Amino acid sequence: MTQTPDPNQTPDEKLPLSEQIADILLRVIMTGGVGLGGLGAFWSLFKENDIPRAVVCLVIGAGFSYGASLLDPLHKGNKRRLAKMGEDVDRGFDRITENAIARVRGVEDQYFQCQAWDCRRYRSEGIAQHDRIFTPLLEDVFVPLQLDPGSLQPGFRSQDIERLQQLMHSDGQKIWDLLKQADKQPVFRQIVILAWGGYGKTTLLKHIAYTYGMNQQGKYEAPRLTPFLLMLRKYRDVIAQEQPPNLPELITQRHVPSLPESEQLTLPSDWAKNKLLRGEAVVMLDGFDEVAKSQRPAVARWINDQMRRYGRSIFILTSRPKAYKDQDVSDRLELATQLWVKDLNPQQRQDFVQKWYLCQERYAAGGEATPDVQKIANQAAKELLTQIEARQELTDLAKNPLLLNMIVTFHRRYPGAELPKRRVELYREICLLQLRDRPAARQLETLLTQCEAQIILQMLALAMMKKRWERIQRPVMLQWLDYCLKQQKEIIKSTEFLDQVVQISELLVEQEDEYEFAHLSFQEYLAATQLAQQKQEKLLYEYFNDDWWKQTILLYATQVNPTSLIREAMQRGATDLAYRCYQETTRRVNTALASELNALKQTVQISRYAKLKEYLKTGSGKRRTTKPIDS
């Protein structure tokens, strides 16, 4: 059984004894050797470095003549042993000197620069590039994430828990509050950050790596550390093999060569190892959920082993919750501090949209941020934020950083457009991103890209609308998926399909053994799309006066020419719905019908006023939903 690393323990691996001696001797020599007055300081150095007492006495004697006594044997056995120690110390001098020269020559600074360059731009994987949309720099649009302390490992002291909660409730960039305390609080040296897809976990790690790489950690009162940002999906096959490299080897042989401009970088052979042993590193391991399920036990063992070896350094792991929670008992990752990324609040959404639009307008103006450019950016941001806050489904989507990025990109592509009229295109792009583009960009092994996953979900959504279901228990869900998969002649198991839709696309979510779409608007959109593709408009006619179907009908109307739908609604007395369909469509409606609808405008306004009056009087109007028990 894999033993969970304890951040309060001293790590198993230390600098070699010869290097500890050499490091101390070098510091003494640099001050002019050891005289009688310096013996006290010399002894203090040895005590601080935990060198065994016998060796301390031996080397103090050697220190009077800079190691000459090592070659002056008391007898043949001592001569052999001291000669070997002299060689080890000499090699230790070489390594220490090599690392010192690396610092003097700025090789370390070159590494920092290379790591920063790798994180410089703000890119959301899987989102297509569009004309007139510039890729901003990360630091120009980064908004600090709020982290919530989900839990600590059992057994940690109550003061650790209280301190973490105190830090989490303070203002500012929460991750930096932890990093600057890690030296004194070992519990903060092992952190796992959990969140669903698109919540900015990777972006947060890139921000940390970039900040350290640019030597800007001082503004957060954090100590200087060497950042190593490792994407687990890049190294999962290497780590999961029978004899994987250790962390210093992985950094030296694979991570460093993968960085921009790394061909000009020549680091000392033990540079990464020494950084890790001295506690001068922050190791960021991104995407445990992107490791294949069969590989996770081996990868978990490897990570535990590295944290145990290099316990003085900081380790930050990111993962989606299910992959982290559903680990084998025998090979389990349990990092000391567990944090959850919270939804974006209104202020965070405002900050991101304003920063993003200012970047776009500045780039479009040739890099200038003059008052007129700022005014245009502020106007566009304000218009979008007003639309987001005015519609609950958009507000809910905008709590996710990735989806907010999609919304703001979409808004810039269609300047001045009302998002309700473009909802279908937005939902279409979100589904495409979650089911195909993002898994492909992250090189995930998934059957979602090998089947018509969206059509299966469309069939499911329409069935749920007909049954008036928002949630389904797992057995019933699997029955429906079996039916849908057979209809599409897919040979995939319903259990595998369901698990991957939940874990990878997250269009379906699990709540206590029941399943629902991530938002009801996705269910309504997918059902409307299925009706449009199957040309089943007549099915909607009987639901014109049913609030449960209203949004589905509107989403259907934006995907077809709604002339026949609007006529039928008017004939059945659903004039309010007919006018809404006319308002939200971007297609040309029959001229005579358009004139008739415009004439109805006053009637519709009176109807809406009457409904509002009734709502205020009775308090009714809440959408009715039915949750199935077993069928």
Mean pLDDT of 83-101: 49
**Band of residue 131 on the pLDDT scale cut at 50, 70, 90:** confident
Q: How far apart are CA 194 and CA 317, in angstroms?
A: 9
CA distances from 444 to 118, 135, 230, 590 (A): 22, 24, 16, 47
Task: Please work out, in degrees rounded to the nearest 5, the angle formed at the alpha carbon of residue 561 by the alpha carbons of 556 and 566.
Answer: 75
Instruction: Yes or no: say if 461 and 508 are a contact pair by the CB < 8 Å rule.
Output: no
| Model pLDDT, residue 209 | 97
- Residue 178 sits at φ, ψ, to 5 deg, of -75, -45
The answer to whether residue 378 scores a pLDDT higher than 90 is: yes
CA distance 631 to 628: 6
- 579, two tokens: 């006018």
In sign, the C-alpha dihedral spanning 387, 391, 395, 396 is negative
Q: Does 605 score more than 60 pLDDT?
A: no
Q: How far is CA 549 from CA 335, 337, 428, 553, 563, in A?
A: 46, 45, 19, 6, 19
pLDDT in tens, 466-515: 999 999 999 999 999 999 999 999 999 999 999 999 988 889 998 878 99
- Quickly list DSSP for 439-498: HHHTT---GGGTTTHHHHHHHHHHHHHHHTBS-EEHHHHHHHHHHHHHHTT----HHHHH
Indicate the pLDDT class of residue 627, thresholds 50, 70 and 90.
very low
Name the token pair of 608: 């809406």
Kindly report, residue by residue over 342-365, the tens digit of the pLDDT.
Answer: 999 999 999 999 999 999 999 998
What domains does the chain contain, in order, with CATH numbers? 17-105 (no CATH), 113-341 (3.40.50.300), 346-414 (no CATH), 447-593 (no CATH)
pLDDT of residue 81: 53
* Reported confidence tier of residue 334, pLDDT bands at 50, 70, 90: confident
Q: What pLDDT does 628 receive?
A: 39
Which residue is associated with the tokens 């001050």? 31
How many whole angstroms separate alpha carbon 422 and alpha carbon 558? Answer: 8
**Which range has the top average pLDDT, 70-74, 498-502, 584-588?**
498-502
176 contact partners, CB below 8 Å, separation of at least 6: 217, 220, 221, 222
Amino acid 585: pLDDT:
84
pLDDT of residue 326: 87
**What is the reported pLDDT for 631?**
33
What would the two tokens of residue 128 be?
């297509």
pLDDT at 168: 53
Q: How far apart are CA 603 and CA 20, in angstroms?
A: 88
pLDDT tier, 153 (very low <50, low <70, confident <90, very high otherwise) = very low
Task: Convert the pLDDT of each residue in 398-446 to its tens digit.
Answer: 999 999 998 998 888 887 777 767 889 889 989 998 998 888 888 888 8
Query: Residue 329 — very low, low, confident or very high, per pLDDT cuts 50/70/90?
Result: confident
Per-residue confidence (pLDDT) for residue 333, from 0 to 100: 92
Backbone phi, psi, residue 312, to 5° = -80, -20
Q: Which amino acid is at 170?
A: S
- CA 40 → CA 34, 37, 60, distances in Å? 10, 7, 11
Strand-strand pairing, 226-231 and 281-286: parallel
The whole-number average pLDDT for the span 75-85 is 54
Lowest mean pLDDT among 41-45, 184-188, 192-196, 539-543: 41-45
Q: How far apart are CA 268 and CA 110, in angstroms?
A: 13
| Percentage of residues of the chain with pLDDT beyond 90 | 52
Which of 16-30, 128-142, 274-288 is most confident?
274-288
Mean pLDDT, rounded, of the chain: 81
**Cross-strand partners of 23:** none
Confidence band (pLDDT; 50, 70, 90) for 339? very high
Q: For residue 315, how many C-alpha atoms fall within 13 Å in the half-sphere facing its CB? A: 28
Tokens coding 568: 């039928």
User: Is residue 628 within 8 Å of residue 476, measured between CB atoms?
Assistant: yes
Q: Encoding tokens for residue 413?
A: 């592509």
Judged by average pLDDT, the poorest of 226-240, 332-346, 493-507, 594-608 is 594-608
Q: How many CB atoms lie within 10 A of CB 223?
A: 14
Q: Are strands 314-319 and 508-511 parallel, antiparallel or unpaired?
A: unpaired
Which residue, 509, 490, 489, is CA-closest to 499?
Answer: 509
The pLDDT score that the predictor gives to residue 57 is: 43
3-class secondary structure, 541 = helix
pTM here? 0.74
E runs forming strands in 288-352: 314-319, 337-341
The answer to whether residue 229 scores a pLDDT higher than 60 is yes
Position 175 scores a pLDDT of: 92
Contact 504, 290 (CB under 8 A): no
pLDDT average, residue stretch 536-546 = 95
The pLDDT of 355-378, averaged and rounded, is: 92
The pLDDT value given to residue 64: 42
Cα separation, 474 vs 296, whole angstroms: 25
Region of poorest pLDDT, from 159-163, 200-204, 251-255: 159-163
State the pLDDT at residue 415: 79
pLDDT at 223 over 60: yes
Q: What is the pLDDT of residue 61?
A: 46
44 CB-near residues (< 8 Å, 6+ apart)? none
Edge-to-edge strand list for the sheet holding 281-286: 147-152, 337-341, 190-194, 314-319, 281-286, 226-231
Specify the pLDDT at position 167.
Answer: 55
- Given a cut of 50, whether residue 623 has pLDDT beyond it is no
Model pLDDT, residue 245: 97
Strand partners, 230: 285
